[in-house]
Structure 1
Amino acid sequence: MKNEEQRTNFSLAACKRACSHGVKQSLGPHRELTFALFGGLFMVIAFLFDQTGYLWTATTIYAISYLIGGYYKAKEGLTDLFQDKSLNVELLMIIAAIGAASIGYWGEGAVLIFIFALSGALETYTLQKSESNLSALMELAPHEANLLSGNGETNVVPVKELKIGNHILVKPGERVPADGEIVSGTSTVDESAITGESMPVHKNEGGVVYNSTMNQRGVLTVSVTKEDEDSLFQKMIALVQEAKESRPPSQRLIEKLEGPYVIAVLALVLISFLFTYLALGWTFETALYQAMVLLVVASPCAVVASIMPAMLAAISNGAKQGVLFKSGIYLEQLSKMKAIAFDKTGTLTEGNPRLTDVRLKEGIDETDVYNAIASIEMRSDHPLASAIINGMKERQDISFVEPTDFEDTPGWGIAAGVDGYTWRIGKKAFMTGDTARFSYIEKEWSNTGKTIVFVERDEEVLAALALSDIVREHTRATVAAIQDKGMHTAMITGDQEATAKAIANDISLDTWLANRLPEDKVEAVETLQNDYGKVAMVGDGVNDAPALAKADIGVAMGSGTDVALETADVVLMKNDLTKMNEIIHLSKRLNRIVAQNLIFSMSVIILLVIGTFFQNVSLPLGVVGHEGSTLIVIANGLRLLRTKRKQSMHQLPDFNAPTKA
C-alpha cells in the first residue's frame, strides 16, 4: 500500500482535464461563468433572429456563441490533445457541437456548448467549497510579527524574516507568528487551528506555543524555535495540500481508462452513424444527429466526478476536526481495516503514571519515609520518579534533603543514604530484605495492572508503592464502537503480562500482546496481519514508528508534534482517541457515497445510450441528462463537508465506569 505511486503528487487539474471538475488556479470561477453566460446570451439572441427569418445573422451569432461559450472547454480539450497526446471529454463535446452545426443544427450545438460550459463553471465553483477549509486555515497564518530588539523596543517585521532565537511580543487578540517557547508572560491560547480543540489552553513561562494559534489574554514574550517554513502549522498545510493532490487507486483507474474509453466512444459513434445511415437507411442528417447525441450521452463526465470531489470534501472535513491524512488512499482504506492495534501508554492511557496507593509497615513514621523517598527520587531520571515525587507531595509537605552515595541501577532501582540510613527503592528483586508482609497487597495490585515499587531502609522493607497509568476518558466507548463496526481490537505494549491483561480486560479489548519492545512491535503487527488481514496501528508516533510503518495504515496521536507528522499516515493532532471512531465512520461514508455516485452515473449513461438508439433523446435533453447527473454526483460528494457522526461518543453506553479486571 505504501509505495511511491500512492504518494505521487499530482495537480487537481488531472480531474479537471478528465471532465472539467478541477479548480484552475489561474482562472477564477466567475470568469469562466461569465464566458458561459455570455455564450448563452448570444445563443438567445441568435435564436430570436432564427425565429424571425434572419438565418445568416442567426448563424453568425450562433458562431459567436460557440466561440465565447466554448472557449475554455475547447482550449482544454485541444491542449490535452496536442500537448499531452491524450483524449478527453472536452474533445467529445467539441466534436458533437461541430457535428451538429455541420448539418444545420446550430441551435442544438449552441445549447450543448452553453449547458456544458455552464455546468463546468458551476462544478468549478462547487468544488472550491471543498477547498474553503484549507483556504480558511491558510488565512490564519499571520504575516507580520513584533520583533523585540535588545533595548526592549519592538519592530514590525515579516514573519518570514524571523530567525531561531529571536524574541517576539504577542499581544492579546493576536495570533502567534512562530513556533516558540514562552520566555515571560501568562495567558490562555486557542490552539484549535492546530488540534481542533475549542477549549483554550493555559500557558505560562516555559510553555510551547505554535504558529497561527490565538493568544487570548496576557502579553507573551516568545523565543522563536523554528523558522516559518518549518513551523508545525506550515507542515500541516503542506500535508493537507499533499493529501488533496493525491489520487486513490479508484481515481487512478478511472483516469487510466479515460483515454481508451474516449476512443471506444468515438468508435461506437462512427459505427452507429454508418449502421443507421447505410444499413437502416436513415438520412445523413438524422444519422449524424443521433450519432452526436450518442457522443454526448456516452461521455464519462459523471463517472469521473464520482470520486475526487467526495475525497476532497472528506479530507477537508478531517482537517477541520484536527485530523490530517497524508493521502486520500488512507481515508479510503481506513474503514476496510480488519483489525485496529493500539499502543497502551499515551494512546489508550494518558501516558502520565500516578501514584495510586501507598502501604507502610505498621508503626512506621510516614513523615520520615515520605521525605526520604521524595529526596532520593529527586536525583532519579526514571520515568516513574516524578509520579512518585508528586504522590509524596500530595500526601504531605516534603522537606527535601540531599541524599548521599546515590547509585542508580538501571532496570532495577536506586540506592542512597538519607539521615544516616541506607535506602533502596525499586523492584522486588532489588530489595535485600524480606517483602513477605506485602505479598497479599502485591498480588492484589498486580491483578489490577499496577506497577509496584518497594522501599527498603537498612535491609528492612518498609513500604510498597503502586503506580498506574490512567485509562483515557472515552477509551472504553471508542473501543466498543470500533468493535461494533466488525473490527478486531488489539493492544501491543511493552508492559508486563499482568499489567497488559488488566488494562485489556478493563477496556474489553479482543487481544493483547505484552512485553514488546519497539522492535518487537513490528513482529506483533505482522502477527495480526497474518491472523486478520489489513491492520491499522495507533500509537504516539515516537517509539511506535517502526510498527506504524509496518501497519497498512499508521495513525499517530499527534498532540501537535513534528515526529507524528513524519511517521504516520494519519495524524490525530489532538490526543483525542474518539477521533479514531469518527474517521472510520467518515471513511465508511466516503466509500458509500462514492459507490452511490458510480452506480448512479453509470446507470444514467446506460439509460441515455439506450434512449438514443430508440431516438427518444434529443441533443439538448442528452446534454441536460449528462451534465445534470454530473452536478448531482458532485453535490452528493460535497455532503462529506458536513460533520456528521453516526453515533456520538456521548450517545454511546457509559463504558467509563470502573470495572473489575
Structure 2
Amino acid sequence: MKNGAFGRDLLVKALYGSFKKLNPLDLWHNPVMFSVELGAIVLTVEFVLEALGYKKGVLWFTGWTTFWLWLTVLLSNFAESLSEIRGKARAESLKSYKTAVMAKKLREPLPDSPYDTVSSTDLRKGDLVLVEEGDIIPGDGEIVEGAALVNEAAVTGESAPVIREAGSDRNAVIGGTKVVAGRIVVKITANPGETFLDKMIGMIETAKRRKTPNERALEVLLVSLTAIFLVVVLNFRVLSEYLVRTTGRGEPASITILMALFVCLAPTTIAALLPAIGIAGMDRLFRRNVVALSGRAIEAAGDVNVLLLDKTGTITLGNRMASEFIPVGNHTFEECVHTAMIASIADETPEGKSIMELAKKTLGVRSDALPKNVKVIPFTPETKMSGVEVDGHSYRKGAFSAVKEYILRIGGTLPPELERVVGRIAMSGATPLVVVKDKEVVGVVALKDVLKEGIKARLAKLRNMGIKSIMITGDNPLTASAIAKEAGVDDFVAEAKPEDKLNLVRDLQKQGYIVAMTGDGTNDAPALAQADVAVAMNAGTQAAREAANLIDLDSDPSKLLDIVEVGKSMLITRGALTTFSIANDIAKYFVIVPSAVSPIFPHLDKLNILRLEDPYVAVLSAVIFNALIIPALTPLALKGAFYRAVAPDKLFVYNLLIYGVGGVIAPFVAIKLIYHLIEFFVG
C-alpha cells in the first residue's frame, strides 16, 4: 500500500522528520516532550560516565532506560511528522496545477476588445482577461461577463464540470481550472502568490494552524502537571536520601530511576499526540474537500449548538418538482395533465422539465408524439407566465395572481374553487402553478421542494447531539413552515433578508450559543463574518469567501453537517486521549513508586499489586510501555475517536468507561507482559 494513509514512502518520510524534530529549537513548542528529551540527554551522559567507570550504577538498566527515553521522543515526533506529511502530500498534488499559463488580457472592459497575450504571473488584481473554451483560467477571479462550464477537478477532485456565470452567486473561478465550454470575461481578484491555491499550498506545507483556546488550556494543564512532577521527583531524591540515612536500608534513588519516574508520571502520551490531533483535524477536513482557514473554526465546529441552514440546496434539492395535478371547474384530470404538458413543451427550466416528465408518465405519452410546430411564449418578469400556441389554441401556465389578471383581461372567468385549491397547495408547502387553455383555467400543478435524501435523519442526528437546527429561507411563512415540519427542522425564519440573518446570528450568540452557518452570496457575508463557524461555498462570491473561516471546495451547503461531526470527533479524540493518558499515570504509579522505594521503605511494597520482584526490570517495563503506547494510539489520533450522535452526558460516561477504566487496566496488563518478556529473554 504505497500511497495509503500509512504507506511505505510516507512512513519513511515521517521517520526522517522524527529525527529532524529532535532539534531542541523545534521541540521546545511541546514542553512535556522537550523535558523528556532533556532527561534523555542527562541519562546519555550518565550512561557514558558509568560505561567509562567514572560513576557507579547498573549499566544495562541505565543504557536501556536511555534508549527507551530517546525512543519516546522519536515516537512523539513521528506522530506529529506523520500527520504533517499526510497533508503535505496533498500540497504536492496541488502544486502540479499551479503552473504559469498564457492569459488574454483585455485592453478595454469589453468581451470583444483587443487583448494582449501575457503570462499569468504578470496579471494583477483588477485586470480583465478573456477565457474561452479549452483555456485554463489564469488566476482567481470573478466572472463579469458571460457563462461557462468549468472543470474544477484540479482543486475539488470532482470530475463533473460546473456552471459559473456573471451576475449570480456562482461567479467565482479559481486559477488552474479549465473552461470546458463557454466564453467569459474574468476580473482578477488576487495577485500572484496570493491566490486561493497559493494559500492552500502554503497552509498545508507549513501546517500553519493557530492553537485553539481548548488546546492552549490543555497545554497549560500539561505544563503545570509536568512542573509538579518535576518538583515531586526532585523531592523524591531528597526523601530517598533522608530515608537511607535514617533507616540504614537501601540506596538513594539514582538519576536513572528519577528520570524514569518523571517520564512515566508526566503526561507524555497526550503531549505526544496533541499536535497530531490538531493537524489531523485539518487534514481530515481537507480530505472532505473543506479548507480550514483557522484551527479555531474546527474546534468551534465541535462546540456548535445551533446550525443555521439555508433551505435551497441544503435541506431541499434546490429545484421544485411537479408532484400533483389538480383539475378545477368542469375539466377532467386528463385535461389538466395534458394542458400542463403542452404549456411546458418549450420550458427548459427544471420545474418545466419535471412537469413534462410527470405528465408524460401519467398519460403514457412518448416525446415523439408531442406537437413540433409551436409558437413559444417565453416567461417575462412582466407577465409572470409562459406557454405556447399550437393548432390555434393558446396554452399558458403561471402564478395565480398573474393568471387571474390575464384571464380577466381576455374576458374569461375563474372557477370558484380555484382560490381554495391554490391556498391548500400553498399551505402544504408547495408552490401552485395555474394552467390555462385559451380562456379557461383547466387546473393547478403543485410544485414541491424535494427534500434531500436522508436530510431528516441527519437533522435528527444533530438533535441527538444537542444541536438546534434553524432553517433560513426567503419563502413565505406558510411554505417555510411546511418544509420545516417535513424535514424535522427545530425552527425556521421565513422571508429572511441579509440584515435578518446577521441579527439572528448576533441574537443567538448573546444567548450563549455557538453558531454555525453556510453562505455563498455577498448578502451572506455579514452573517458569515459574525458566525463562530462560517462555511463559504467555493463557487460563491469573493465577499462570502473572505468572510468565512471554512471553504467548501465542493460548494455543497449540507457539508456543514459533516464539518460539525469532524469538529466533535476532534474534541472527543482529544478528551479521550487525555483521559487515557491521565489514567495511565495512575497505573504506572503503582509500578514505579514501589519499585523505586520499597528497598528503603518496605511498607510501600503493598502498592506493588503486580508483584514485580526485580525493581530494575519493573521500572524498565513501565518506561517501555510509556514509549510503545504512543505509536499504538497514533492511528486513533489521526483517524479520530469513534463518535456517536448521543447526548453529551452519555458520551462523557461512555468515554470515561472506555478510556478512563481502559486507561487504568491496559498499563497493568501490558507492563506485566513486558516484565515477563524481559525476564524470558534476559534470563
Task: Return the match for 2:495 from 515, 533, 543.
Answer: 515
Aligned to 1:428: 401
Which amino acid in structure 2 is aligned with residue 334 of structure 1?
Answer: A
Aligned to 1:200: 160
Aligned to 1:269: 233
2:467 is aligned with 1:487 = yes
C-alpha separation between the residues in 1 aligned to 2:534 and 2:17? 41
Mapping 1:253-268, distance limit 5 Å: 253-268=217-232
Task: Return the match for 2:216 from 246, 249, 252.
Answer: 252
Could you say what secondary structure the match of 2:580 adopts? helix
Structure 2: runs of 5 or more not aligned? 1-11, 50-54, 106-115, 358-369, 390-395, 597-614, 646-683
- Displacement of 1:113: 4.2
Structure 1: runs of 5 or more not aligned? 1-26, 36-70, 379-384, 648-661
Which amino acid in structure 1 is aligned with residue 301 of structure 2?
Answer: L
C-alpha separation between the residues in 2 aligned to 1:494 and 1:184? 27
Could you say what secondary structure the match of 1:116 adopts? helix
Could you say what secondary structure the match of 1:341 adopts? strand
2:412 is aligned with 1:448 = no
Mapping 1:592-607, distance limit 5 Å: 592-607=572-587
Aligned to 1:626: 626
CA contact (8 A) 1:33 1:121 kept: yes
C-alpha separation between the residues in 1 aligned to 2:521 and 2:195? 18
After superposition, the C-alpha distances for 1:435-484 in whole angstroms (9 at most, x for unaligned) are: 65621221132123234577999999999786655433443343243334
Which amino acid in structure 2 is aligned with residue 90 of structure 1?
Answer: E
Which amino acid in structure 1 is aligned with residue 313 of structure 2?
Answer: G
Could you say what secondary structure the match of 1:509 adopts? coil
Task: Return the match for 1:91 from 30, 38, 59.
Answer: 38
Which amino acid in structure 2 is aligned with residue 343 of structure 1?
Answer: D
- Displacement of 1:32: 6.4
C-alpha separation between the residues in 2 aligned to 1:558 and 1:605? 46
C-alpha separation between the residues in 2 aligned to 1:295 and 1:246? 29
Which amino acid in structure 2 is aligned with residue 194 of structure 1?
Answer: V
After superposition, the C-alpha distances for 1:588-628 in whole angstroms (9 at most, x for unaligned) are: 43333323311222223333344222124566445323322
C-alpha separation between the residues in 2 aligned to 1:117 and 1:569? 39
CA contact (8 A) 1:489 1:509 kept: yes
**Shift in alpha-carbon separation, 1:200–1:521, aligned structure 2, 3 A:** closer
After superposition, the C-alpha distances for 1:68-122 in whole angstroms (9 at most, x for unaligned) are: xxx9456667x789xx9x9844334434544566644465554444333344344
Aligned to 2:610: none
C-alpha separation between the residues in 1 aligned to 2:375 and 2:181? 35
After superposition, the C-alpha distances for 1:311-336 in whole angstroms (9 at most, x for unaligned) are: 32232122111123333333334344
Task: Return the match for 1:147 from 81, 98, 102.
Answer: 102
**Shift in alpha-carbon separation, 1:240–1:292, aligned structure 2, 3 A:** closer
CA contact (8 A) 1:424 1:431 kept: no
Could you say what secondary structure the match of 2:314 adopts? helix
- Displacement of 1:637: 0.5
After superposition, the C-alpha distances for 1:39-60 in whole angstroms (9 at most, x for unaligned) are: xxxxxxxxxxxxxxxxxxxxxx
- Displacement of 1:204: 10
Could you say what secondary structure the match of 2:69 adopts? helix
C-alpha separation between the residues in 1 aligned to 2:263 and 2:44? 9
Could you say what secondary structure the match of 2:469 adopts? strand
**Shift in alpha-carbon separation, 1:110–1:183, aligned structure 2, 3 A:** farther
2:293 is aligned with 1:326 = yes
**Shift in alpha-carbon separation, 1:127–1:158, aligned structure 2, 3 A:** farther
Deviates more, 1:491-500 or 1:460-469: 460-469
After superposition, the C-alpha distances for 1:272-320 in whole angstroms (9 at most, x for unaligned) are: 1111102343666645443233233233322212433123223212211
Normalised TM-score (structure 1): 0.65
Aligned to 1:638: 638
Mapping 1:254-653, distance limit 5 Å: 254-281=218-245, 286-352=253-319, 399=375, 428=401, 433=408, 438-451=418-431, 469-525=449-505, 533-540=513-520, 542-559=522-539, 562-576=542-556, 579-614=559-594, 615=596, 616=615, 620-640=620-640
Which amino acid in structure 1 is aligned with residue 628 of structure 2?
Answer: G
Aligned to 1:22: none
C-alpha separation between the residues in 2 aligned to 1:483 and 1:122? 40
Deviates more, 1:538-547 or 1:306-315: 538-547
C-alpha separation between the residues in 1 aligned to 2:511 and 2:144? 49
- Displacement of 1:519: 1.5
Could you say what secondary structure the match of 1:315 adopts? helix
- Percent identity over paired residues: 23
CA contact (8 A) 1:348 1:471 kept: yes
Which amino acid in structure 1 is aligned with residue 82 of structure 2?
Answer: K
**Shift in alpha-carbon separation, 1:146–1:275, aligned structure 2, 3 A:** closer
Aligned to 1:38: none
C-alpha separation between the residues in 1 aligned to 2:534 and 2:67? 47
CA contact (8 A) 2:43 2:66 kept: no
CA contact (8 A) 2:293 2:550 kept: yes
**Shift in alpha-carbon separation, 1:166–1:569, aligned structure 2, 3 A:** closer
Aligned to 1:3: none
CA contact (8 A) 1:185 1:204 kept: yes
CA contact (8 A) 1:311 1:328 kept: yes
Could you say what secondary structure the match of 2:291 adopts? strand
**Shift in alpha-carbon separation, 1:482–1:148, aligned structure 2, 3 A:** closer
Mapping 1:159-198, distance limit 5 Å: 160-161=121-122, 164-165=127-128, 178-179=139-140, 189=151, 191-197=152-158
C-alpha separation between the residues in 1 aligned to 2:531 and 2:164? 38
Could you say what secondary structure the match of 1:491 adopts? strand
- Displacement of 1:353: 5.4
After superposition, the C-alpha distances for 1:461-519 in whole angstroms (9 at most, x for unaligned) are: 99978665543344334324333444333312232111101211222223223233221
**Shift in alpha-carbon separation, 1:138–1:407, aligned structure 2, 3 A:** closer
Could you say what secondary structure the match of 2:198 adopts? helix
C-alpha separation between the residues in 2 aligned to 1:443 and 1:238? 56
**Shift in alpha-carbon separation, 1:138–1:92, aligned structure 2, 3 A:** same
C-alpha RMSD of matched pairs (Å): 5.6
Which amino acid in structure 2 is aligned with residue 264 of structure 1?
Answer: I
Which amino acid in structure 2 is aligned with residue 295 of structure 1?
Answer: F
After superposition, the C-alpha distances for 1:136-171 in whole angstroms (9 at most, x for unaligned) are: 332233343442689xxxx99975345644567997
C-alpha separation between the residues in 2 aligned to 1:299 and 1:161? 55
Deviates more, 1:585-594 or 1:178-187: 178-187
**Shift in alpha-carbon separation, 1:87–1:167, aligned structure 2, 3 A:** same
Aligned to 1:60: none
Could you say what secondary structure the match of 1:247 adopts? coil
- Displacement of 1:262: 3.9
C-alpha separation between the residues in 2 aligned to 1:185 and 1:521? 29
C-alpha separation between the residues in 1 aligned to 2:272 and 2:88? 22
Which amino acid in structure 2 is aligned with residue 635 of structure 1?
Answer: P
The aligned length equals 553
Could you say what secondary structure the match of 1:346 adopts? coil
**Shift in alpha-carbon separation, 1:632–1:314, aligned structure 2, 3 A:** same
CA contact (8 A) 1:340 1:535 kept: yes
